[in-house]
Structure 1
Amino acid sequence: MSYNKLEKSLDNTTFLRIRKWYLLALLAIAFSIVFSQVLIQMHLNSQLNDSRVINVAGRQRAYSQKLVKDILLLDRTNLKKEKNLVLKNTKNTLDVWRISHKALQFGNDSMGIPKEDNKDILALLQKITPHHNAMINAAERIITLKTNATAEDTLSLRKNIDIILKNEKIFLEAMDAIVNKYDSISKTQLEKLKQKEHILVAFSLVILLLEILFIFRPLSIQIRNTITKLLKSKIESEENTLKIEQLYQEKERSLQELQELNFVIDNAALFASIKNNESVVFISKKFQELLGCNTQDLAKPLSEILTTNEGQQQYLKEVFKSNRKNIRNEEIKIRTKKEEDIWLDMSIIPLHKSSKQQSILILCSDITERIENQQKLELLTKQSFEDKILQRKLQASLIVEGQEEERKRIAKDIHDGIGQMLTALKFNIESINLENTDKTEEKIAYLKSLCTDLIKGVRTATFNLTPPELKDHGILPALQKMTVELSKLTGKNILFENKTEKNIRFSSLAETNIYRVAQEAINNAIKYADANYILLSINYNQNTLSVLIDDDGKGFDNSILNKTPQNNSEGGMGLFYMKERINYINGRLFINSTPGKGTRVTINYKPEKTTKQQP
């Protein structure tokens, strides 16, 4: 069977028939879906209206009871202010009650209630209307009597209250009947909708069944037959393909050579073709201009045309001789006749012709600018690396000097404090005379006081060196302990505020550095800022720890933060150490200060790994 006949058979006998029946089936299903949706939407709108009506009907019962309550409250209220408030509420209740009753019968667009057309409900509404009107009229008379204080008639007031109470019970019972009737009507409509929906579902299922029987089953048979015919045609095509495959192979080889040559011409402006003995077959005009050669120079070997340097010429001769089979890429520096050094990205491509003669194709790109930029970049990189090394050496020397200063300070504190107290303790013990009881008791009491101060000094020194709370319990208890101890030792108001819900642990390195930076910030506020009030607050939110140290000291100019720290400036070195410690744990440090308005130090740390929470 020919291809045209097969195509005609597929188009006319299969496609058109399938398209017709498939469209009919889809239209039937779409019609059933649209029709069911229209019914559902109509029923939902009806249900929405019914719900509003039932809601209003239910509120009528509540408003009738509220009206009775307001009337009774109005009767018992004697104070003028309270009576006016009750009168206002009673009027509002009466207005809403009256409007809602009319809306149930005649509809109300603002309330979203349609006009009632059910005869049973209208009959019930008309039945309670006299009682409703009687209650409204009685309530209006009571309001009039209560409004006009001079003309108040107690007997008439009681009579109207009795009218309201007498009609209320009848009104409530009738409204119950109306609400029940609404509910019954809604259920009946819902049952009808269910029946219609079941019919539509059954109709859709029947359409799907017919589509399977009369469309998809014949289609599968037709496709199977078509595939069988196509397989036969494929076998015939493969036999024909084998016969012409040899013809295409030679053609493809020619096309490949042509494509390679076109690629060279289109993408390389610097190119040349030479024989095995380096004699030039062709060289592009742009290549000649770059090299500065003329027509007489083309008689020379290509290595002598490319460069005037003898060493480079010898290297190029070896490259051209050694390349016989594979493509070779070289980045070569040459010197032209203009005494200019240029860099070429050279591709050497051997060409094998059908005549068994071999030639070489040279493709070049001028990469002088790239090489020069690369050399400049390497120089700048080296210089930047050396600058960073020098900066690190300077920072390391400053850190070492700071550590030595810290050791000197610790040694001085121990010598001036603990050392002197130990010396005084020794001299006082040696000067005790057991025969002089009175002085002995006095010296023993002094020795006790001295021992207490000595223990306090040792605890202070060890606390400043390594607080045990930091290792055992974490950064939060350690900072809290530090504020308490420093407040006792200095007499300053040092407060601690914890805004975290649980004790959160970080790595030992992070906790130590955060603790030392916070300690340095508080010590700076005490020593240099002369602060009386210091607040340390901690918050942990979105996996980030924030530590804030606020003081009311004298502050400083923020411009000193950008200056290089000096050894003779403790404050400057302290800020330098704080920044280095926070940078070491990949945290962030912010220092904001205004002269005369205090200082705020903020430490933000976000751990890379998940932290552990302790109760």
Structure 2
Amino acid sequence: MKRSNQQQTLETSTFLRIRKWYVLALSAIALTIIIAQILIQQHLNSQLDDSRVINVAGRQRAYSQKLVKEALLLNQENLQENQRQELLKELNSTLYIWKTSHEGLQMGNDSIGLPKEDNISVLEHFDELSIHYNSMVNAIKTMLSQKDTSGKALDVLLANEGPFLEKMDTIVNEFDAISKERLQKLKAKEYLLLCFSLLILVLEVLFIFRPLSVQIKETIRNLVKSQLQSEQDAEEIKKIFEEKERSLQELKELNFVIDHAALFASGRSDGTVVFISKKFLTLLDESNIPPNTHLSEILTTDEGQRQYLGEILTKPRKSIRTEEIEIKTKAGNKLWLDMSIVPMHQTSLKQSVLLLCSDITERKNNQEKVEQLTLQNYEDRMHQKQLQASLIVEGQEEERKRIAKDIHDGIGQMLTALRFNIESINLDQKERTKEKIAYLKELTSDLIKGVRTATFNLTPPELGDHGIFPALQKMTSELGKLTGKNILFENKAEQNIRFDSLAETNIYRVTQEAVNNAIKYADANYILVSINHTDNLLSVVIDDDGKGFDPTILERPPKNNSEGGMGVFFMRERISYINGRLFINSSPGDGTRVTINYNLNETKKQKKRDV
């Protein structure tokens, strides 16, 4: 104890000694910095005064020249009275500033920031300058009193201006020399303080930092030695903790099974119950278990399920078995369990089992609902397809009726008229015969035109021979001639392309239907069909200036052709058949725009499938 106290006293005294020298060294450096800062601040203040003095002294020369200039202006001939008074006022102001600055350079003046001059050499120069200064002041005062009529005061002023300027140059140079001398003295003091600071730093290194580094090195050596000893002790402790960790890990694994499998039970090799969790009993609608009860009897009341569970629970195994089993509880509820049968080997070579279960009844019920919904969805889709097929058949039948009606009412009637007119020709009546022949020619032209229109509406030859671009151009041209409407075609594509004939036919029919709707229902006078394509997309746009309509009526599919709207329905069906897209934008009074977009990659895919 005594040795420890002595060591503590020695360490304390050593620390106090080092701290004393360290504080002394820092104090010396701080004192040096403070002294240097005081000297620098004093010199800066002195420099400010010197610069102000030199500035004012230099301006004295300028003011003297200004006085002479104003005096010369005052002695000009033909000078008006107001100009004279203005010059006298300016001359008086300049004289005041000049006198104030001259006196301030000698005696000091706080208002203009001039200190009192105490340099003997400078004061002697001012004494020599006073003769010329006083002469110039008196001459100017004489001019200000307007008593000088002969111009003598101006002569005196001009005679003393040169000597005054020379003396002021000497004084300014003297001020500058004094400022430089003060600066040199400050530099010498700074060098002295620098040497003193460096000396203090060297002494600190020799007597403070070096002994301190030796002591720190020794301390670190002792710490390293202690660390090695601590690591050896820690290694021994680590081995002990590893043994405990293994035991804790086994307990943790068992706790994990218990915590994460709330539905669990254990049984003997013959299948009788050893333990079953309370949550499992609640799920199975059981409260008390008689001794030596078989697990299969608790899990289900169904005889077939009991027999199956009895076999899989008592059968020896080497690995875990997992399966989904449907059970029936005592209350008659049907449950689905995800059951894991874990074999537990004991020292007596007898195997027991551990059951880990999860209630998957809700998942199974949801799965069954999904299957029912899938089946219902499939049936709905089939019903929708049947409905669409019936509508398509109905539309085809209506199209056949329309074609038959057009042929009967148009071509048929014209052929009948042609026949009657031919039969009524009497060659004996030449004039009458000529008229009938002319009428027959006109009727024949109308008949040919009607046949062309009917065949054009059925299948245009340009579509199969040249593609969609020339076919649409031909369609707009023919419809414009037949209806008298202004129907235009604009081809924005750089080149004509060909793709799947089925897609070309459907796009042509949808475009034809859109143009016919604009002619029949929209009362449009101007219809524009424009076509364009990129590398992946073909776009056809049909614009009209018709009366438009409310687009919300398109959201309700028609039940039959009598309700109208079947044309738009078939347009959408045709476009969806080729995996295209149809957009209809309209509003009452603003016309209608129909846009058809077709992905050209569909044609590429079809070609690959054909290959």
Structure 2 length-normalised TM:
0.55
Q: Does 1:341 align with 2:334?
A: yes
The 1:358–1:509 alpha-carbon spacing in structure 2 relative to 1, beyond 3 Å, is same
Q: Tell me which structure has the larger Cα radius of gyration.
A: 2
Partner Cα separation in structure 2 for residue 559 and residue 508 of structure 1? 33
SS at match of 1:601: strand
The 1:298–1:269 alpha-carbon spacing in structure 2 relative to 1, beyond 3 Å, is farther
Q: Within 5 A, what are the aligned runs for 1:40-189? A: none
**What is the aligned partner in structure 2 of residue 530 from structure 1?**
523
The 1:272–1:513 alpha-carbon spacing in structure 2 relative to 1, beyond 3 Å, is same
The 1:570–1:549 alpha-carbon spacing in structure 2 relative to 1, beyond 3 Å, is farther
The 1:257–1:432 alpha-carbon spacing in structure 2 relative to 1, beyond 3 Å, is farther
The 1:506–1:426 alpha-carbon spacing in structure 2 relative to 1, beyond 3 Å, is same
The 1:610–1:518 alpha-carbon spacing in structure 2 relative to 1, beyond 3 Å, is closer
The 1:257–1:310 alpha-carbon spacing in structure 2 relative to 1, beyond 3 Å, is farther
Partner Cα separation in structure 2 for residue 553 and residue 373 of structure 1? 53
The 1:422–1:504 alpha-carbon spacing in structure 2 relative to 1, beyond 3 Å, is same
Contact kept, 8 Å, 2:317 with 2:343, in 1: the verdict is yes
Contact kept, 8 Å, 2:268 with 2:351, in 1: the verdict is yes
Give the alignment's Cα RMSD to 1 decimal: 2.8
Q: 1:579 aligns with which of 563, 572, 579?
A: 572
Q: 1:557 aligns with which of 550, 564, 567?
A: 550
Opposite residue 484 of structure 1, the aligned amino acid is S
Listed as ranges, the gaps of 5+ residues in structure 1 are 1-253
Q: How many residues align?
A: 360
Opposite residue 537 of structure 1, the aligned amino acid is S
**TM-fit CA distance, 1:256:** 12
**What is the aligned partner in structure 2 of residue 462 from structure 1?**
455
Contact kept, 8 Å, 2:536 with 2:601, in 1: the verdict is no
The 1:333–1:409 alpha-carbon spacing in structure 2 relative to 1, beyond 3 Å, is same
Q: Does 1:603 align with 2:596?
A: yes
Opposite residue 524 of structure 2, the aligned amino acid is A
Opposite residue 462 of structure 2, the aligned amino acid is E
Q: Does 1:414 align with 2:407?
A: yes
Opposite residue 605 of structure 1, the aligned amino acid is Y
**TM-fit CA distance, 1:558:** 1.2
Opposite residue 443 of structure 1, the aligned amino acid is K
Partner Cα separation in structure 2 for residue 507 and residue 321 of structure 1? 68
**TM-fit CA distance, 1:546:** 1.4
**TM-fit CA distance, 1:349:** 3.2
**What is the aligned partner in structure 2 of residue 316 from structure 1?**
309
The 1:608–1:266 alpha-carbon spacing in structure 2 relative to 1, beyond 3 Å, is farther
SS at match of 1:293: coil
Contact kept, 8 Å, 2:544 with 2:591, in 1: the verdict is yes
Q: Which moved more, 1:509-518 or 1:310-319?
A: 310-319
**What is the aligned partner in structure 1 of residue 587 from structure 2?**
594
**TM-fit CA distance, 1:320:** 2.8
**TM-fit CA distance, 1:385:** 2.0
Q: 1:440 aligns with which of 416, 429, 433?
A: 433
The 1:382–1:360 alpha-carbon spacing in structure 2 relative to 1, beyond 3 Å, is same
CA deviations over 1:583-615 (Å, ceiling 9, x no partner): 111111111111122111111111225779xxx
**TM-fit CA distance, 1:420:** 1.1
**TM-fit CA distance, 1:544:** 1.4
Opposite residue 285 of structure 1, the aligned amino acid is K
Opposite residue 392 of structure 2, the aligned amino acid is I
SS at match of 1:299: coil
Contact kept, 8 Å, 2:316 with 2:351, in 1: the verdict is no
Q: Within 5 A, what are the aligned runs for 1:208-607? A: 264-265=257-258, 267-297=260-290, 299-321=292-314, 324-325=317-318, 327-541=320-534, 543-569=536-562, 571-607=564-600
Partner Cα separation in structure 2 for residue 303 and residue 424 of structure 1? 96
Partner Cα separation in structure 2 for residue 376 and residue 319 of structure 1? 30
Opposite residue 387 of structure 1, the aligned amino acid is D
Contact kept, 8 Å, 1:350 with 1:360, in 2: the verdict is yes
CA deviations over 1:120-169 (Å, ceiling 9, x no partner): xxxxxxxxxxxxxxxxxxxxxxxxxxxxxxxxxxxxxxxxxxxxxxxxxx
**What is the aligned partner in structure 2 of residue 197 from structure 1?**
none
**What is the aligned partner in structure 2 of residue 216 from structure 1?**
none
Partner Cα separation in structure 2 for residue 363 and residue 311 of structure 1? 22
**What is the aligned partner in structure 2 of residue 221 from structure 1?**
none
SS at match of 1:400: helix
The 1:259–1:433 alpha-carbon spacing in structure 2 relative to 1, beyond 3 Å, is farther
SS at match of 2:565: helix
Partner Cα separation in structure 2 for residue 597 and residue 610 of structure 1? 36
Partner Cα separation in structure 2 for residue 432 and residue 322 of structure 1? 110
Contact kept, 8 Å, 2:535 with 2:600, in 1: the verdict is no
**TM-fit CA distance, 1:297:** 3.5
**TM-fit CA distance, 1:509:** 1.4
Opposite residue 338 of structure 2, the aligned amino acid is D
Opposite residue 376 of structure 1, the aligned amino acid is K
**TM-fit CA distance, 1:255:** 13
Contact kept, 8 Å, 1:529 with 1:554, in 2: the verdict is yes
Contact kept, 8 Å, 1:298 with 1:305, in 2: the verdict is no
Partner Cα separation in structure 2 for residue 530 and residue 298 of structure 1? 93
**TM-fit CA distance, 1:547:** 1.1
Listed as ranges, the gaps of 5+ residues in structure 2 are 1-246, 606-611
The 1:516–1:271 alpha-carbon spacing in structure 2 relative to 1, beyond 3 Å, is same
**What is the aligned partner in structure 1 of residue 38 from structure 2?**
none
Opposite residue 372 of structure 1, the aligned amino acid is N
State percent identity of aligned pairs: 72
CA deviations over 1:563-596 (Å, ceiling 9, x no partner): 1213244641111111111111111111111112
Q: Which moved more, 1:320-329 or 1:356-365?
A: 320-329
CA deviations over 1:298-342 (Å, ceiling 9, x no partner): 531001111223332223223334564554332222222344322
Partner Cα separation in structure 1 for residue 383 and residue 546 of structure 2? 37
Contact kept, 8 Å, 1:551 with 1:599, in 2: the verdict is yes
Partner Cα separation in structure 2 for residue 503 and residue 421 of structure 1? 39
**What is the aligned partner in structure 2 of residue 101 from structure 1?**
none
CA deviations over 1:251-286 (Å, ceiling 9, x no partner): xxx999999867744643322222232112332333
SS at match of 1:503: coil
Partner Cα separation in structure 2 for residue 452 and residue 323 of structure 1? 99
Opposite residue 381 of structure 1, the aligned amino acid is T
CA deviations over 1:76-125 (Å, ceiling 9, x no partner): xxxxxxxxxxxxxxxxxxxxxxxxxxxxxxxxxxxxxxxxxxxxxxxxxx
The 1:293–1:286 alpha-carbon spacing in structure 2 relative to 1, beyond 3 Å, is same
SS at match of 2:326: strand
Opposite residue 416 of structure 2, the aligned amino acid is T
The 1:383–1:297 alpha-carbon spacing in structure 2 relative to 1, beyond 3 Å, is farther
**What is the aligned partner in structure 2 of residue 231 from structure 1?**
none
Q: Which moved more, 1:556-565 or 1:337-346?
A: 337-346
Partner Cα separation in structure 2 for residue 306 and residue 339 of structure 1? 12
**What is the aligned partner in structure 2 of residue 241 from structure 1?**
none
Contact kept, 8 Å, 2:528 with 2:542, in 1: the verdict is yes
The 1:597–1:341 alpha-carbon spacing in structure 2 relative to 1, beyond 3 Å, is same
SS at match of 2:560: coil
Contact kept, 8 Å, 2:500 with 2:603, in 1: the verdict is no
Contact kept, 8 Å, 2:515 with 2:527, in 1: the verdict is yes
Partner Cα separation in structure 2 for residue 579 and residue 351 of structure 1? 67
CA deviations over 1:351-396 (Å, ceiling 9, x no partner): 4445322222322111011111112222222222222222222111
Partner Cα separation in structure 2 for residue 540 and residue 368 of structure 1? 56
The 1:255–1:456 alpha-carbon spacing in structure 2 relative to 1, beyond 3 Å, is farther
**TM-fit CA distance, 1:447:** 2.1
The 1:312–1:418 alpha-carbon spacing in structure 2 relative to 1, beyond 3 Å, is same
